[in-house]
Chain A
Amino acid sequence: MHTESESTMNTQTAYKPIISLENVSIRYRVPREKVVSIKEFAIRWLQRRLEYIDFWALNGVGFEVHRAEAFGIVGRNGAGKSTLLKVVARVLYPTIGRILVCGKVAPLLELGAGFHPELSGRENIFLYGTLLGYTHQEMDRCFDEIVAFAELSNFIDAPLRTYSTGMVARLGFSVATAHFADVLLVDEVLSVGDTAFQRKCIDRIEAFRQKGTTVLFVSHSMKKIKSLCQRAVWLSEGVIKAIGPAEAVADQYLAASNQPPVG
Chain B
Amino acid sequence: MNRSNIYDSAACSSPILDEFSALIDYRDLVLQLIARSVKTRYKRSFLGVAWTMVNPLLTLLVLTIVFASIFRFPMKNYALFVLSGLLIWNFFAQSTSAAMNDLIWSGGLLSRIYMPKSAFTFAAIGTGLVNLILALIPYMLISLILGNPIQAAVLFLPIPILFTAMFALGIGLAVSAVAIYFPDVMPMYDVLLTAWMYLTPAIYPIDQVAENIQVILRLNPMYYYVEAFRTILYEGKVPSIEILLIGFLVGIVSLIFGWVVFNRRARDYAYRI
Contacts and interface: CB of A to CB of B under 8 A. Distances in A.
Contact of A107 (B26, B29, B113): B113
Contacts of A103: 5-6
A93 interface: yes
B7 A90 contact: yes
Nearest to A95: B271
B9 A98 contact: yes
Contacts of B110: 91
Interface residues of A, number: 47
Contact of A38 (B6, B33, B112, B182): B182
Interface stretch (A127-135, A199-207, A225-233): A127-135
Nearest to A114: B109
A41 B182 contact: yes
Contacts of B2: 135
Interface string A95-113: 0011111111101011001
B39 interface: yes
B29 A131 contact: yes
Most buried by A among B31, B44, B112, B182: B112
B183 interface: yes
A58 to B, nearest CB: 12
A131 B113 CA distance: 8
B214 interface: no
B158 interface: no
B109 A131 contact: yes
A74 B47 CA distance: 53
Interface in B159-201: 178, 181-185
A8 B2 CA distance: 13
Contacts of B43: 118-119, 159
Contacts of B40: 116, 118-119
B113 A114 contact: yes
Given A89-B113, A91-B113, A118-B43, A130 B108 contact: no
Given A37-B184, A92-B271, A99 B9 contact: yes
A113 B112 contact: yes
Given A90-B114, A91-B111, A98-B8, A36 B182 contact: yes
A116 to B, nearest CB: 6
B32 interface: yes
A130 B29 contact: yes
A36 B1 contact: no
B28 A130 contact: yes
Contacts of A99: 7-9
Interface string A1-15: 100110011000000
A254 B181 CA distance: 41
A63 interface: no
Interface string A146-167: 0000000000000100000000
A109 B32 CA distance: 21
B112 A123 contact: no
Contacts of A38: 178, 182, 184-185
B154 interface: no
Given A5-B1, A93-B9, A103-B5, 16 more contacts: A41-B182, A89-B114, A91-B111, A93-B270, A99-B7, A100-B9, A100-B10, A102-B6, A107-B112, A113-B112, A116-B36, A118-B43, A118-B44, A131-B32, A131-B115, A135-B2
Interface of B: 1-3, 5-10, 12, 25-26, 28-29, 31-33, 35-36, 39-40, 43-44, 108-115, 178, 181-185, 267-268, 270-271
15 contacts: A37-B182, A92-B270, A93-B270, A97-B9, A98-B8, A98-B10, A99-B8, A102-B5, A103-B5, A104-B5, A113-B108, A113-B109, A123-B35, A130-B29, A135-B2
